[in-house]
Amino acid sequence: MAIRVHSYESLGTYDGPGIRLVVFLQGCPFRCLYCANPDTISLEGGTPTEPEEIVERALREKPFFGKKGGVTFSGGEPTVQAAGLIPAVRKLKENGINVCIDTNGGIWNKDVEELLSLSDLVLLDVKEFNPARHRKITGHDNTRTLGTAGWMEEHAKPFWLRYVLVPGLSDFEEDIRALGEHFKAYSMLQRVELLPYHTLGKHKYETLGWEYRLEGTPLNTQEQLSKAKGILEEYFSNVILN
């Protein structure tokens, strides 16, 4: 089954451990207000790619991966194409390549379960802990995302939690604390990444003819980021500001 690939990033250092080939895939059920890759949301775009092609590319780049690196499937939302990804991930694993899945955790079915089971690490994007605010940001509540985190804890699957701090949208202290309370006892949660809000994808909205609905939202101040990091550090021992 062909996989719809949006683009590749070689030598990536932001999406998982070490140096990685990041494969951005088409399709996402969420509509995050700050999405930096709105051109990946439609499942119709991208290049249909056979799993073997991705594996071959990864094998060519394997010498750069070192001990910790590997391949990260990002998006878009990679679990949209879970059935197509399973054979690719199987082959990568057979070749000793570390695999990460960067997901919003919002889709659950047998294929997603198998995909996550096969992978080494899941990068779970939690957009907000408060369900109503999560819905405001993404168009969906976060029940499934939290359920995915619960599955990883139950099945001893290591994961990192990623949280984008958007002024006025996801920087509420009570929500960050609630997230801390919810996850503080999760033994599989290895790292919490706090990501600043940025507008690097804004020009893509113009190209798509879409309205950028966060027009006027300020970037984070250093003080806001430090404060949020400090709160998270009250709950987690490994908090990284990316």
CB 115 within 8 Å of CB 89: yes
Interface with ligand SF4, residue 75, by CB under 6 A: yes
Residue 73 Cβ, how far from ligand SF4 at the closest point, in Å?
12
Cβ-based nearer residue to ligand SF4, 31 or 91:
31
> Near ligand SF4 by CB under 6 A, which window of 37-45, 78-86, 184-192, 213-221?
37-45
Residue 15 sits at φ, ψ, to 5 deg, of -115, 70
Residue 131 sits at φ, ψ, to 5 deg, of -60, -40
Of 3, 30, 157, 161, which lies in the binding site for ligand SF4, with binding defined by CB under 6 A?
A: 30
Residue list 132-161, contact with ligand SF4 (CB under 6 A): 138
- Going edge to edge, which strands form the sheet with 159-165? 47-49, 3-12, 20-25, 70-74, 98-103, 121-125, 159-165, 189-196, 239-241
Interface with ligand SF4, residue 104, by CB under 6 A: yes
Query: Residues, the chain, total?
Result: 242
Contact map string, positions 161 to 200, toward ligand SF4, x by CB under 6 A: ----------------------------------------
Of 39, 77, 120, 171, which lies in the binding site for ligand SF4, with binding defined by CB under 6 A?
A: 77
CB 72 within 8 Å of CB 20: yes
Q: Three-state DSSP class for 175?
A: helix
Interface with ligand SF4, residue 78, by CB under 6 A: no
Give the residues across from 73 on adjacent strands.
23, 101
- CB burial of 95-112 (b: ≥16 within 10 Å; e: otherwise) equals eebbbbbbbbbbbbeebb
Interface with ligand SF4, residue 76, by CB under 6 A: yes
Residue 215 Cβ, how far from ligand SF4 at the closest point, in Å?
17
> Near ligand SF4 by CB under 6 A, which window of 25-33, 83-91, 155-163, 233-241?
25-33
- Among residues 10, 100, 91, 99, the alpha carbon closest in space to that of 53 is found at 91
Q: Which residues neighbour 154 within 8 Å (Cβ) at sequence distance 6 or greater?
A: none
Interface with ligand SF4, residue 35, by CB under 6 A: yes
Q: How far apart are CA 51 and CA 54, in angstroms?
A: 5
> Near ligand SF4 by CB under 6 A, which window of 3-11, 34-42, 191-199, 211-219?
34-42
Cβ-based nearer residue to ligand SF4, 49 or 138:
138
Of 3, 28, 189, 239, which lies in the binding site for ligand SF4, with binding defined by CB under 6 A?
A: 28
Torsion sign over Cα 61, 6, 30, 174: positive
Residues forming the site for ligand SF4 (CB under 6 A): 28, 30-32, 35, 37, 40-41, 75-77, 104, 138
